[in-house]
């Protein structure tokens, strides 16, 4: 097998992708891409399956803001470390639900051997509000971002090298949007607000962070879509976050990178949904001429290669399995046109006559 071929996989949060729009349902695709590339960089939205997770030394777990900065060349990724994961709890979480999350932390310590702590509760409730844009994309806001950042600083100063955040999200068990999501359509209404929380912390602290919402349990639904099932297996979404953060790479300023650190200049390819080509990381990769593989993966967005005027600069793939095959071909140095029939014609140049 040829040397590793670092590949970036993005499935944007809160846009309702058919693959990756639910709880960790892009994880099988990530596993295949990691095997094909030998080194996959992706974000928690891809890897988090609530009580389910998959630990793979070939996969770098990088929060979205840090991932954008990595793609832009500002940050490098330094793997190989086991993080001490601090736990940040929203003061709005009621005692019984707080106890459930603390039990998850204890279970991960006792069963998986993770280093977790310290634990900090915000001095005031964070005040999470959920919203949905006209396009259908989910987003949200915090009433007290200052409380979030104070608690994050306390954890960092207390020795945490990564932070798992648990914020109390509004319960809306009877909403039509939630029922649609549980039955396999619509958008994850929590994802946009989760991204706001993690982005704020990572930008402020420059250490790995990820979020798990605190919610009351939902009533049993026998008609649940398989992609939504992972979210209903336990009392919390925290286990996958603790596991992912425990082996997340350090975020290093590119100017301070050392041999062995991964820089954007070392990326071999980007894999992204065909309708989600307008993101910051995608544009950075295009600017740096990183090959972009656009996978058919419908969502509420329609920012396609056609609408962006990128025909000829993006390689299309019908499935993630096909994308993995393309990554493997590039890793092995196989020219992609050689896999097509009929073969494209040779470019023939002529010299001007005197």
Q: How many Cβ atoms are within 10 Å of 226's Cβ, its own excluded?
A: 9
Q: Which residue has the higher pLDDT, 222 or 71?
A: 71
Average of per-residue pLDDT across 247-276: 97
What is the C-alpha to C-alpha distance for residues 323 and 329, in angstroms, rounded to an integer?
10
Q: How many Cβ atoms are within 10 Å of 236's Cβ, its own excluded?
A: 22
What is the C-alpha to C-alpha distance for residues 274 and 268, in angstroms, rounded to an integer?
18
Question: Model's pTM, two decimal places?
Answer: 0.94
Question: Do the bridges between strand 162-168 and strand 85-89 make them parallel or antiparallel, or are there none, so unpaired?
Answer: parallel
Furthest-apart CA pair in the chain: how many Å? 87
Residues in the chain: 354
Q: Is the peptide bond before 118 cis (omega within 30 degrees of 0)?
A: yes
Contact in structure between 292 and 267 (CB atoms under 8 Å): no
235, HSE (Cβ side, Cα atoms, 13 Å): 10
Label residue 133 by pLDDT band (50, 70, 90).
Answer: confident
Residue 5 has pLDDT above 70, yes or no: yes
Per-residue pLDDT reduced to its tens digit, 143-163: 999 999 999 999 999 999 999
Which string of DSSP letters, residue by residue, matches 33-62? HHHHHS-EEE-HHHH-BTTB----TTEEE-
3-state SS, residue 181: helix
């Amino acid at each position: 097998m040829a040397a590793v071929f670092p590949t970036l996989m993005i499935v944007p949060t809160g846009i309702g992708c058919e693959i990756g729009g639910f709880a960790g349902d892009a994880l099988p695709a990530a596993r295949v891409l990691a095997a094909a590339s030998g080194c996959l960089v992706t974000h928690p939205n891809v890897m988090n399956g609530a009580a389910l997770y998959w630990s793979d030394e070939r996969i770098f777990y990088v929060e979205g803001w840090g991932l954008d900065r990595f793609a832009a060349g500002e940050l490098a990724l330094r793997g190989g470390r086991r993080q001490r994961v601090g736990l940040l709890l929203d003061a709005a979480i009621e005692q019984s639900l707080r106890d459930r999350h603390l039990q998850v932390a204890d279970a991960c310590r006792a069963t998986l051997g993770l280093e977790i702590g310290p634990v900090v509760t915000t001095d005031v409730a964070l005040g999470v509000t959920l919203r949905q844009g006209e396009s259908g994309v989910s987003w949200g806001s915090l009433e007290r971002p200052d409380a979030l950042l104070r608690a994050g600083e306390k954890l960092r100063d207390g020795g945490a090298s990564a932070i798992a955040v648990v914020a109390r999200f509004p319960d809306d068990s009877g909403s039509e949007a939630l029922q649609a999501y549980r039955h396999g359509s619509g958008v994850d209404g929590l994802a946009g607000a989760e991204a706001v929380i993690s982005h704020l912390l990572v930008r402020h602290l420059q250490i790995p962070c990820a979020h798990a919402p605190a919610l009351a349990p939902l009533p049993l639904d026998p008609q649940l879509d398989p992609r939504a099932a992972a979210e209903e297996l336990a009392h919390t979404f925290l286990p996958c976050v603790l596991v992912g953060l425990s082996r997340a790479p350090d975020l290093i300023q590119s100017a301070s990178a050392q041999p062995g650190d991964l820089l954007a200049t070392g990326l071999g390819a980007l894999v992204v949904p065909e309708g989600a080509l307008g993101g910051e990381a995608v544009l950075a990769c295009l600017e740096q001429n990183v090959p972009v593989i656009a996978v058919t993966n419908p969502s509420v967005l329609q920012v396609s290669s056609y609408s962006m005027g990128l025909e000829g600069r993006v390689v299309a793939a019908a499935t993630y399995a096909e994308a993995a095959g393309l990554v493997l071909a590039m890793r092995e140095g196989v020219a992609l046109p050689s896999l097509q029939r009929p073969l494209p014609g040779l470019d023939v140049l002529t010299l001007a006559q005197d």
